[in-house]
Amino acid sequence: MTATDRSIELVTLAAQAAADRLAHDIIAYDVSDVLSITDAFLLASAPNDRQVKSIVDEIEERLNKELGAKPVRREGDRDARWILLDYVDIVVHVQHSEERVFYALERLWKDCPEIALPEDAVQTRGKAEEHARLMGTDGADGELS
């Protein structure tokens, strides 16, 4: 089984919305063969809590406005370190860069096929590592690109 057209449409728009809010390392996986609860995961990150929240708000607004989709669940707002939006067909994970490195969701889903994303989203790959270098921190150790 593969992700439905609706799931691909949601992931594509969510990825573009995340890229428009300067998210880092946007990637999507088709998890439909290994999970029965959703078709796809979208992962994105940001270097601070405020930006994590901004990215999530933009994704939620765009999916609602353009596709009439509302999440059935939104978790993680309190600390804004890892916010999850559950749209049933897709699940969006927006993490603070530190959580992204620590939890390394890419390693869990690396055997699942990647979903093609808009060019703006693809160009965000490696941005967390670049940001960490510019800030003089030992951020992403290559796990995100």
Q: What is the average per-residue pLDDT within 127-142?
A: 57
Distance CA 23, CA 125 (A): 9
Contacts of 42 (CB under 8 A, 6+ apart): 11, 14, 15, 18, 26, 27, 28, 90, 91, 92, 93
Q: What is the predicted pLDDT for the residue at 77? A: 84
Cα distances from 21 to residues 5, 37, 85, 86, 90, in angstroms, run 25, 28, 16, 19, 20
What is the rounded distance in angstroms from the CA atom of residue 96 to the CA atom of residue 111? 24
In this prediction the pTM is 0.87
Q: Which CATH class is domain 5-133?
A: alpha beta
Q: Are 81 and 99 in contact (CB under 8 A)?
A: yes
Q: What is the pLDDT of residues 52-88, one digit of tens each?
A: 999 999 999 999 999 999 999 999 988 889 999 999 9
Question: Where exactly are the structural domains of the chain?
Answer: 5-133
